[in-house]
Amino acid sequence: MKRTGILITNLGTPDEATPSALRRYLAEFLWDRRVVDLPRWKWWLILHGIILRTRPAKVAKIYKKVWSSEGGPLLVISKQQQVALQKKLQEQFGDDVIVELGMRYGNPSISSALESLRAERVERIIVLPLFPQYSAATTGSTFDAVSDTIRGWRSIPELTFINEYHTHPKYIEALAKSIIEHRKFHDNISAGERLLFSYHGLPQSYHDAGDPYKSQCIATTNAVVKYLGLDESQFMIVFQSRFGKEEWLKPYIEETLRTLPKNGVKKIDLVCPGFSADCVETLEEIALQDRDMFVASGGSEYNYIPALNDNSAHIDTLSEILLERV
């Protein structure tokens, strides 16, 4: 077979949990036209005149809650995924397959990862962004970064770009089994009166312009629900991490968590199928902030179901997706 380089990617993380590191990270992230598509002059004034002056210090405090001596959770887990996937593929292909990790924003960069594969003289590169559901703001932006790097190469290897896997059978099975195992651990297969599927939000205007993200989130949820055998009264879809005053995809998680206890739903389990690795949004926002909000609103039990991270079922899933291309 052709000597193959595998590039797995994720969104990224600041180098440190400090205001200065957050400022650098947010400046890169929020300047991406795929993320914020306002006119550049207008957005530059907002970004540099307001956001980068106030938000880094506030966000740094949040990151410190989940930071470890090894770094941010997303980077730590992504490296574990890289190592596990390399080991899994080496068992079948030996040194003919090399796995590198690149972050869309921050380090290690997508460019540095691609250059490492280039130095290994790979004949083919398969890019797998670890965003199960496609969005222009995540997967589309990753494609931009890959293109920006290889466009300057004299010799371009064969390139395969995997843009989604939102209903891949192995992915759905791994998600569903993680929910089942979590509920067994809590001694009751029906531990939550309601199972919430929470996905990262997106401006409604992006959906209106044709971004398939929301439709794919719904498709993922329906596939998992079918596997679990749940009816419509047992689950809900919500969207988290809204930013700014623009209308985003609904229903908003905040409004849902405040309303459910008033409607008699006191116990919930919550899973985030759009996150392939736990990060500040899941470990701090979902697992801590939103739990406090639910309890303060009258809820009695709130269980966050961790992301698939580097567990064996997830590594098997990613390996299967890649093997279909190899």
Q: Tell me what percent of the residues of the chain surpass a pLDDT of 70.
A: 98
User: 139 and 179 share a domain?
Assistant: no
Write the pLDDT tens digit of every residue in 218-260.
999 999 999 999 999 999 999 999 988 889 999 999 999 999 9
Q: DSSP alpha helices (H): ranges in 39-96?
A: 40-46, 52-66, 73-93
- Model pLDDT, residue 189: 47
What residue type is 228 in one-letter code? L
User: 13 and 141 share a domain?
Assistant: yes
User: 261 and 174 share a domain?
Assistant: yes
HSE-CB of 83 using CA atoms within 13 angstroms: 9
User: 258 and 140 share a domain?
Assistant: no
Looking at 142, 164, 186, the residue that finishes a domain is 164
Range of the domain at 85: 1-164
pTM greater than 0.85 (yes/no): yes
User: 136 and 273 share a domain?
Assistant: no
- Model pLDDT, residue 243: 85
For 112, the enclosing helix (H) or strand (E) is helix 110-119
Q: What does the alpha-carbon distance between residue 320 and residue 89 come to, in Å, rounded to a whole number? A: 10
Looking at 164, 191, 206, the residue that finishes a domain is 164
Q: Is residue 312 part of a domain?
A: no
Looking at 164, 195, 225, the residue that finishes a domain is 164
Task: Read off the pLDDT band of 311 (50, 70, 90).
Answer: very high
CA 117 to chain centre: 24
CATH classification at residue 295: 3.40.50.1400
Q: Is residue 217 part of a domain?
A: yes
Q: Is residue 246 part of a domain?
A: yes
Mean pLDDT of 168-187: 89
User: 33 and 119 share a domain?
Assistant: yes
Q: Is residue 90 part of a domain?
A: yes
User: 182 and 299 share a domain?
Assistant: yes
